[in-house]
Copies of this chain bind each other. A is one copy, B any other.
Amino acid sequence: MSTTVRSIDDPDLLPFLPFIYLAWSDGELRESEIVSICDEMSATGLDQDCRLAFDGWLNPTDPPSPNELATVLDLIRDSVAPIDGVESLDIEAFAEQLATTGRRGNELTSSEREAVRLLGRQLGLEGSEPTRAVTGRARPQNPTGTESTLDVPRLDVDALVALRDGPRQEIRQQVRALLSQPDFAHVYGLPMDEHRVRVLAQCRRLADEGIGRLGFPAQHGGAGTQSDFLGAFSVIAHHDLSLLTKFGVQFGLFGGALLRLGTESHHAELLEPMMSMALPGCFAMTETDHGSNVQALETTATFDPTTDEFVVHTPHLGAGKDYIGNAANDGHAAVVFAQLVTDGRGHGVHAFVVPIRSADGHPMPGVAIEDDGPKAGLNGVDNGRLWFDQVCIPRTNLLDRFASVAADGTYDSPIPGEGKRFFTTIGTLVGGRIGVGTASISAAETALAIAVRYGLRRRQFGPGGPSEPETVLLDYPQHQRRLMPLLATTWAYRFALEQLADDYNGERLESRVLEGQAAGLKAWASWHANRTIQECREACGGAGYLTENRLGPLKADADIFQTYEGDNTVLAQLVARGLLTNYAQQFNDLGLLGTVRFLAGRAVETVREANPIVLGGADEDELRDVENYVDLFRWREEHLVAALAARLRKRISTGTDSAVAFGEVQDHAIEAARAHVDHLVVKRFVTMVESMPEGPERDALELLCDLHALSMLEADRGWFMEHGKLSAAASKQIRKLVSVLCAEARLIARPLVDAFAIPDEILGAEALIDD
Contact = CB atoms under 8 A, between A and B. Distances in A.
Interface string A410-439: 111111111111111000000000000000
Nearest to A653: B126
Interface residues of A, number: 146
Nearest to A555: B376
Contacts of A421: 66
B563 A556 contact: no
B591 A127 contact: no
Interface in A20-44: 22-30, 33-34, 36-37, 40
Contact of A538 (B290, B548, B568): B568
Interface stretch (A103-111, A659-667, A688-696, A703-711): A659-667
A561 to B, nearest CB: 11
Interface string A586-599: 00011111110110
Interface string A525-560: 000001000100110011011111001110110011
Interface in A701-732: 714, 716-718, 721-724, 728, 731-732
Contact of A413 (B65, B124, B564): B65
A51 to B, nearest CB: 18
A489 interface: no
Interface string A477-488: 110010000000
A124 B597 contact: yes
Residue of A26, A548, A657, A658 with highest tally of chain B CB at under 10 A: A657
A352 to B, nearest CB: 18
A464 interface: yes
A593 B123 contact: yes
A374 B28 contact: no
A73 B286 CA distance: 30
Nearest to A560: B545
B470 A296 contact: yes
A541 B290 CA distance: 11
A130 B414 CA distance: 24
Interface stretch (A184-192, A198-206, A353-361, A631-639): A184-192
A67 B123 contact: no
A673 to B, nearest CB: 11
Given A64-B416, A66-B347, A126 B546 contact: no
Interface in A391-423: 403, 410-423
Interface of A: 22-30, 33-34, 36-37, 40, 63-70, 122-130, 139, 143-144, 188-189, 191-192, 286, 290-293, 295-296, 322-323, 345, 347, 372-377, 403, 410-424, 458, 460-467, 470-471, 475-478, 481, 530, 534, 537-538, 541-542, 544-548, 551-553, 555-556, 559-560, 562-564, 567-569, 581, 589-595, 597-598, 652-653, 655, 657-660, 663-667, 670, 714, 716-718, 721-724, 728, 731-732, 739
